[in-house]
Structure 1
Amino acid sequence: MRQTLAFLMAAGLTAAAAFSAAPARAETTLEVVHAYGAFRERFYQPLADAFMKDHPDIKIKFRAPATDYYEGHLAVAREAMTGQTPDIFFAGMNLLPDLASMLAPRNQITDLNPFLDQEGQAWVDKNYDINVLELGRIDGHQWGLPFNASTPIAYFNADLMKKAGLDPQQLPKTWDEFIEAAKKIKQANSDVDGMQINLALGDWFWQAMVYSYGGTMMSPDRTKVTYGDDAGLKAATTVRRLVEEVGMPWIDEDAGMAQFAAGKLGIFIGSTGDIRTMDDAIGGKFKLVTGTFPMGAKDGHLPTGGNFATILTQDPEKQKAAWEFVKFLTSPAGQKVTVLGSGYMPTNKQALKNEYLGEFYAKNPDWKTSLTQWPIAVAYFGYPNVKSIKVWKAQSEVLFRIGSGDVSPVDGLKEMVQSTEAIVKE
């Protein structure tokens, strides 16, 4: 698998170098900031090198990567005060509304609509699905172009499933089915855990649970907390069931991945962006199968993780060069390199053709699971005024108590809603 990925990525870089238009005439240096340093060598740097080879008059200079999207956002907020923002910034999916509301009034973020218009509607339609573009559109402005995109998926240890009498070809689909499967895996294997979902660090998976039951976090205008409804209660009750009935360990995503890769966990709920790392970590020790995220309602949906490429520079020449780089990154060949280096979903429609990812997906269907969830994917919600971190800190403490049985799902959910309302109003 590793040799195949290396070959395919090399081929992708060769093709990507021919995608974007001619370079800007004047020598231009673009300063770029992204989160998660491990992805620098996986795809950011290889793509930058290929771009610079084809655009010798444009230099891509990466600043130090942010630890995560929140740190990156806060750093840009500080830099905006002194006019030191990067030329290109990869903003977390749930943070774009706050980024735009902060920078647009100061004219420190670039609307990409004029660049898309210049390319022509036929070109836009050929490359980007309207729903994908809509993720980065706010009040008619295209503030970001989706670069990395993911939905949460399920990873199954097929060997442990078979030992428990389960068929890896008939994967569970609902929360009830997942819980029953996890219980059987644990009963058949005394030294393993049945299932794990990260509710210890970050609210993406908690949002996914609420969404899977048809709920939302707040009203569209972000003025009213809405997850205190029946969908939220079902999600909170499921948290309790996972601990009480399945014995789920309360650990973060990295610890869950390590336990799964070691063959000591039957079902792991994680990001599709983990699949490359998971494949490498398992190293053939057991058969890996991926499946869709558990659903609790027919109208269930899922939050889209990942990031947007945003152009912050207001220098006209830099804007032109930045657009060429962003266009290159989101090209079908550029997305091929990105996907193979991570497992993220491609954000360019043409990337699904055989010469890009089509043939690879046909041979590696487990990498394609997240794509089947695009129809139910919605924006990853961000609380107003960059309050997501503080809101999640309060939510996670209550969720832990719900899981441990120290508070009932009903009372715990009420407490979570009240704390969220108070924090948002601060």
Structure 2
Amino acid sequence: MTKTGCVGAIMVTLLCSPAANAEPVLTVSYSLPSNFKPALEEIARRFEAEHPDVRIKMRAPLASFDDVVNDLLKSKLTGGAPDIAFVGLSHAGLVAERGLAVPLDQLVQKEGGWSKLGYYSSILSLGAVAGRQYGVPFGLAVPVLHVNVDLVRRAGGSMDNFPSDWNGIADLGQKISALDSKLAGFTFQYDAYSNWTLQALIRGAGGRMEAPHGCGIGFDSPEGRWALETLQLFHDKGMPAMSWQQVLQAFSSGTIGISAASSASISRLETQIKTAFEYRTLPFPMTSADGKLPAGGHMVIVSTSDPEKEQAAWDYVKFATGPAAQTIMVQNSGLLPISQRAAEDPALLGSFYKSHPNQAVALGQMSRLTDWYMWPGPNGLKITSVIQDHVDTIVTGKASARETIPKLAAAVSAMLPPCKAAAN
């Protein structure tokens, strides 16, 4: 072979080799497509436009945040894990403990630190565990009251004198239900993932799910008992046991008067309702001046351990939590932004909340946000299911709060790991 032929052969080999033409493909796992699919698909398109050497492949969406984590746990053993995943904020401790997320600290150091990235610094702690950052919050949610103002007025109520406590809200719901047998006056999102709204009741009353120092249970307190008794109150005053998906559909069709549920559905409801009736949101009632609200929503983690993909995955995380993508996310949901730059820039979200008062209600509760608690140990996800099963029995009238509380306390205590604090 001639020298020229050798050079040509070498060039063909280099050009045709998989390494030379490989286009990184990042697989992304997420859930709740009714809330997040349009935004995440648009973000993926924008990212690919700015990063033409990387392709984003959205995996088939799962039903819940818990399902995403369960899939990560399973794929850790069987293979086929996604490169990036959107997990519930309550799962921060679990993904760190199980090695499901890559710590981001070294990647951030290369960027010059978190302050360079324009996030709300107080919110970053929601994705941190033991001083290390395992995820970046993507969008935050708070529970709010969704109100059909027309039905409230028909029942003799008004927005100016709207009840500020749960008993009064349930009473108003009864009056709305009495207007027509097809109406549900009041619903409460009792089936929220990882006991989110139950935690909101307890934290709003000044209590906690866990005992001090995370050692044992804390919901067998006066605040916890009050929260479960409040769920019984809702049942006793006629609240139907409807799934959150059923509630969304019924509320948008005008057959529910008041719904205590996530702010993540605000944009969707406004789009569906349009001018069919007057729709307003109100803050989630809290019974303690020191009450807090667990931050709902999710964070994005890098789950790939492939060094060739890790940087590209981090680039996606930065983009998804950056100003442009956060604007897309907020405008397609009722979630709150993690990007302070997006929130303050008039060209992005700076004037958005002034013209969207329903979403501004959720923004006004940011100062009350706290962590969304997740039980430690290998039974963490099972415990949330056990709690939900007991909540279901109360809401459906199969058991009273008084008889449920000791059973629930015993069941959860038996599933927790040994209490390290007890030995100190």
TM-score normalized by structure 2? Answer: 0.86
Residues 97-133 of structure 1 deviation map (CA, whole Å, 9 limit, x = unaligned):
1111111xxxx63211222223234x62661122210
Please, which of 61, 67, 70 is the counterpart of residue 63 of structure 2? 67
How much has 1:188 moved relative to structure 2?
Answer: 5.0
Query: Which amino acid is the alignment partner of residue 356 of structure 1?
Result: L
Match of 2:375 in 1: 383
Match of 2:83 in 1: 87
How much has 1:214 moved relative to structure 2?
Answer: 1.2
1:305 aligns with 2:296: yes
How much has 1:389 moved relative to structure 2?
Answer: 4.6
Deviates more, 1:42-51 or 1:202-211: 202-211
In 1: Cα distance, 2:200 partner to 2:165 partner: 13
In 2: Cα distance, 1:45 partner to 1:403 partner: 36
Residues 216-261 of structure 1 deviation map (CA, whole Å, 9 limit, x = unaligned):
11136543011000001111121122122x3111111111222222
Give the count of matched residue pairs.
396
Please, which of 110, 113, 121 is the counterpart of residue 118 of structure 1? 110
1:34 aligns with 2:30: yes
Query: Which amino acid is the alignment partner of residue 40 of structure 2?
Result: Y
Which structure 2 segments of 5+ residues have no match? 1-20, 419-424
1:357 aligns with 2:349: yes
In 1: Cα distance, 2:52 partner to 2:390 partner: 54
Change (3 A) 1:63 1:397: closer
Q: Is the 8 A contact 2:252 2:272 kept in 1?
A: yes
Q: Is the 8 A contact 2:188 2:260 kept in 1?
A: yes
Which structure 1 segments of 5+ residues have no match? 1-24
Please, which of 42, 46, 49 is the counterpart of residue 53 of structure 1? 49
Q: Is the 8 A contact 1:172 1:294 kept in 2?
A: no
In 1: Cα distance, 2:165 partner to 2:63 partner: 34
Deviates more, 1:34-43 or 1:266-275: 34-43
Q: Is the 8 A contact 1:168 1:289 kept in 2?
A: no
Residues 367-411 of structure 1 deviation map (CA, whole Å, 9 limit, x = unaligned):
122111111111211122353553344333433443455544333
Name the SS for the 2:336 alignment partner: coil
Q: Is the 8 A contact 1:208 1:302 kept in 2?
A: yes
How much has 1:166 moved relative to structure 2?
Answer: 2.2
In 2: Cα distance, 1:408 partner to 1:40 partner: 36
Residues 23-82 of structure 1 deviation map (CA, whole Å, 9 limit, x = unaligned):
xx9843222211233456411111111111111111112222222221211111122124
1:158 aligns with 2:135: no
Query: Which amino acid is the alignment partner of residue 31 of structure 1?
Result: T
Percent identity over paired residues: 28
Residues 280-322 of structure 1 deviation map (CA, whole Å, 9 limit, x = unaligned):
3323210000011121211211111221111122333422211
Change (3 A) 1:248 1:39: closer
Match of 1:342 in 2: 333
In 1: Cα distance, 2:407 partner to 2:416 partner: 14
Q: Is the 8 A contact 1:171 1:291 kept in 2?
A: no
Please, which of 211, 231, 234 is the counterpart of residue 226 of structure 2? 234
Q: Is the 8 A contact 1:92 1:306 kept in 2?
A: yes
Name the SS for the 2:159 alignment partner: coil
Change (3 A) 1:205 1:263: same
In 2: Cα distance, 1:172 partner to 1:388 partner: 36
Match of 2:167 in 1: 176
In 1: Cα distance, 2:211 partner to 2:276 partner: 46
In 2: Cα distance, 1:385 partner to 1:314 partner: 23
TM-score normalized by structure 1? Answer: 0.86
In 1: Cα distance, 2:122 partner to 2:131 partner: 14
Residues 319-369 of structure 1 deviation map (CA, whole Å, 9 limit, x = unaligned):
221121111111121101011112211111122222112222111110122
Q: Is the 8 A contact 1:148 1:346 kept in 2?
A: yes
Change (3 A) 1:154 1:40: closer
Root-mean-square deviation (Å)? 2.4
In 2: Cα distance, 1:65 partner to 1:405 partner: 33
Name the SS for the 2:364 alignment partner: helix
1:259 aligns with 2:259: no
In 2: Cα distance, 1:76 partner to 1:205 partner: 25
In 2: Cα distance, 1:187 partner to 1:83 partner: 55
Query: Which amino acid is the alignment partner of residue 237 of structure 1?
Result: E
Structure with higher Rg: it is 2
Q: Is the 8 A contact 1:200 1:250 kept in 2?
A: no
1:368 aligns with 2:364: no
